[in-house]
Structure 1
């Protein structure tokens, strides 16, 4: 499990973001499911985070990128970003809504999570998934609660 010593704030430099980004792609940094799906974090900033997942190996019986794959990618992005911007506090998802707009049969799906609201205890993200041509595949809105406890 990823447990960085630094947090992500508006004052975080580009170099610090690159260092955090490299840590996100370590073994099981994003969790076992993210590893199994081949999720790779590709961009990180105080207001957003992006990652990719291959379609191959993540399909449903009809050969399409699984709807659950969209949700796993979105939750991985929003939860990790919430963890970082909270200063490393435990976060849990409390609401998630996914709208699937287009299917992907091959290539890579990219998710970009942007902060909609950041409070003391609630962080909401909108995650847009696109294919390699930049076409919108799905939109996921996820809200995480920041707990008062520190990670173990």
Structure 2
């Protein structure tokens, strides 16, 4: 069975003013990658766990915000590597500057023996960057755009 992840797409606004919350992976491996790296807050779950429960847990871990819903199921997608991602949309609002991600420990630099605590994601400012980040995602048949994050937003 393929690995599975669950996440929540938080959105606010209407029509052309619609904004979504996206996160950027944390840690040194993603520090200089922007185009194509943005995603919804999500994480893996086991075969005995309810996917929506996992999605709510992962959202809280990656942003510090506990959502109450309502949640609207979106169609699952299969990523290139085979992982299946289940997602729910939820209307809501939050202050991007107040978002806080949990941390993980990593030996960095590799084989140095030094361990660092690093954020799992970089959620700060993503509501403002959401539209640009979506535009930077690679599309089938089109190479990804080379874009730079605005100062202080990524």
TM-score interval w.r.t. the shorter chain?
under 0.3
Which has more radius of gyration? 2
TM-score, structure 1 length as denominator? 0.28
Greater relative CO, 1 or 2 (CA 8 Å, sep 6+)? 2
TM-score, structure 2 length as denominator? 0.28
